[in-house]
Amino acid sequence: GYGNPPKTQEEYFTRLRGLTLALLDNPNHFGFVYTQLTDVEQEKNGVYTYDRKPKFEARLFREIFGARAAYEQAEFPAWQPAMDDWRVLVGSAVDADHEWDMLLTPPAHEWTNGFKGERAKGGFGRKDGFEDLIRTPWTTADIYLSRSFEVTSAPAAARLVIHYDNATKVWINGKLVWESPAGAWNDGYQAFELNAAARAALKDGTNTIVVHCHQDSGGQFIDLALLGR
């Protein structure tokens, strides 16, 4: 190594063989690279001199580097990803181009049960760094979103995955199931488990999810997914 060249050829190849076998015996290593083959200025640990003359016979390297690696001598099971049994009940912009009913002014009476508006795709907003997720520009103070979705069997667990900026409330079938903490916002899709009371809002058949997001200052964005299992 640096500043500690071997004193003899035997010492050099003993160290080289030990290092090489340690690398080859690791089944997670697929190869290695021997760098700095030549002496460089004050570093005299190359296998060639500064003027490119070999210090050792090439066959001595072949005997060491020709050893078979552990990966070549045994079969290792292929990694299998864990199966995720969450079902997408309501998809976000990263799932597909789903359309929402959108309003930029407060809807009519009892709007938390759903309403009709301009059809638009999520995500919604104006936020630096997230332009690829914005399907519909939103630059006003408020946005109201409504969408219907189907549930074949009410899930035992439900999760809201939401990117909100900033103050946001979410209703399912007219029941408030999630509200962002006061003054909070995030910069990416974040998962929140829905409690039993919130899950109880879901029913077999057609459901409606409604979202209200209010913007104070800075960037603004809203998009979400609802998962169940």
Predicted local distance difference test score (pLDDT) of residue 179:
98
Task: Specify if 174 maps to a domain.
Answer: yes
Q: Are residues 66 and 97 in the same domain?
A: no
User: Mean pLDDT throughout 141-145?
Assistant: 99
Q: Are residues 107 and 174 in the same domain?
A: yes
Distance CA 173, CA 110 (A): 11
Predicted local distance difference test score (pLDDT) of residue 71:
78
Q: Decide if 89 contacts 226 (C-beta within 8 A).
A: yes
Is residue 55 scored above 90 in pLDDT? no
Distance CA 133, CA 216 (A): 21
Q: List 222's β-bridge partners, or say none.
A: 124, 164
Q: Are residues 69 and 181 in the same domain?
A: no
Task: Specify if 80 maps to a domain.
Answer: no
Q: Quick one: how many helices (H) and strands (E) in the chain?
A: 4, 12
For the chain, percent of residues with pLDDT exceeding 90: 60
Dihedrals φ, ψ of 134, to 5°? -85, 110
Q: What is the CATH number of the domain that holds 203?
A: 2.60.120.260
Q: What is the tens place of the pLDDT at every residue in 204-224? A: 999 999 999 999 999 999 999
Q: Decide if 143 contacts 224 (C-beta within 8 A).
A: no
Q: Are residues 57 and 149 in the same domain?
A: no
225 sits in which H/E element: strand 220-228
Q: What is the tens place of the pLDDT at every residue in 68-111? A: 888 788 776 666 777 678 999 999 999 876 899 999 999 988 99
Q: Are residues 29 and 94 in the same domain?
A: no
159 sits in which H/E element: strand 158-165
Task: Specify if 221 maps to a domain.
Answer: yes
User: What residue numbers bound the domain in which 61 lies?
Assistant: 9-73
Task: Specify if 82 maps to a domain.
Answer: no
Q: Are residues 102 and 172 in the same domain?
A: yes
Q: Whole-model pTM? A: 0.66
Task: Specify if 78 maps to a domain.
Answer: no
Task: Specify if 3 maps to a domain.
Answer: no
**Counted domains in the chain:** 2
Q: Are residues 159 and 206 in the same domain?
A: yes
Q: What is the tens place of the pLDDT at every residue in 123-140? A: 999 999 999 999 999 999
